[in-house]
């Protein structure tokens, strides 16, 4: 399996309003992000996904997070979303997304949940809450997973600890409140986005110099 974007960092715009989503999404894309999720517990989320997909869908993978039910998958498709991110492992949601050929990043914590997600057709796994579990836990879980499965760390990831989770075997991370908080100015989103991109690229550069 391979992840579908160039930068394996998923921006989570939880709580973003539809009247501000384009400004924040544009700031993320300008910083180098090409995967953005708008959680379903955001206000008027479907309209936000629709606006972002129409404006930036040719430059970024736009979709929804906190997708909990199969019928939510249909709503994401109707809004033009192509990415499904979940906080949990629900085989019905995974199969519904796979049938519609959407990119999936499925939330799990245990090995049982991880393999259930893969059996249902998940393309990538989201270890959540990674910040509470720690890099050591992620490394142990990654050791029993198929090596080709893309694994993302989500929950509590910052520019300062991103390298630890990449070293533990994650290909990238989902970035929430340390990247975006509801109501923050676009300038803050742009600043945090640049910090995360720089942290990721520093790790990649170090790997090139010291393979």
- Cβ contacts of 157 within 8 Å, gap of 6 or more: 130, 131, 165, 173, 174, 175, 176, 178
Determine which one of 82, 113, 126, 142 is catalytic.
Answer: 126
- Cβ contacts of 106 within 8 Å, gap of 6 or more: 85, 86, 89, 94, 117, 122, 124, 125, 126
Whether 160 sits among the annotated catalytic residues: the reply is no
Exposed (0-12), middle (13-18) or buried (19+): which is 44, by Cβ within 10 Å?
middle
C-alpha dihedral, 164 to 167 to 168 to 172, nearest 10° = 80
Closest C-alpha among 105, 112, 169 to residue 140: 169
Determine which one of 37, 82, 113, 142 is catalytic.
Answer: 37
**In which residue are the tokens 């170090």 written?**
206
Whether 37 sits among the annotated catalytic residues: the reply is yes
Q: Which residues are catalytic?
A: 37, 126
């Amino acid at each position: 399996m391979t992840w579908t974007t160039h930068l394996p960092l998923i921006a989570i715009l939880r709580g973003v309003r539809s009247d501000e989503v384009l400004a924040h999404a544009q700031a993320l894309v300008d910083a180098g992000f090409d995967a953005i999720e708008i959680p379903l517990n955001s206000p008027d989320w479907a309209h936000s996904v629709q606006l972002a997909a129409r404006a930036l869908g040719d430059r970024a993978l736009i979709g929804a997070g906190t997708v909990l039910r199969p019928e939510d998958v249909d709503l994401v498709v109707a809004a033009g979303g192509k990415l499904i991110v979940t906080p949990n492992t629900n085989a019905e949601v995974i199969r519904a997304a796979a049938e519609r050929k959407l990119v999936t990043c499925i939330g799990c914590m245990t090995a049982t949940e991880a393999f259930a997600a893969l059996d249902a057709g998940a393309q990538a796994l989201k270890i959540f809450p990674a910040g509470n579990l720690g890099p050591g836990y992620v490394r142990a879980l990654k050791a029993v997973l198929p090596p080709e499965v893309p694994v993302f760390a989500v929950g509590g990831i910052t520019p300062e600890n991103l390298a630890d989770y990449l070293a533990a075997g994650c290909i990238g991370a989902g970035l929430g409140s340390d990247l975006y908080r509801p109501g923050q100015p676009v300038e803050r989103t742009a600043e945090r986005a640049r910090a995360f991109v720089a942290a990721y690229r520093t790790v990649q550069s170090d790997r090139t110099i010291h393979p």
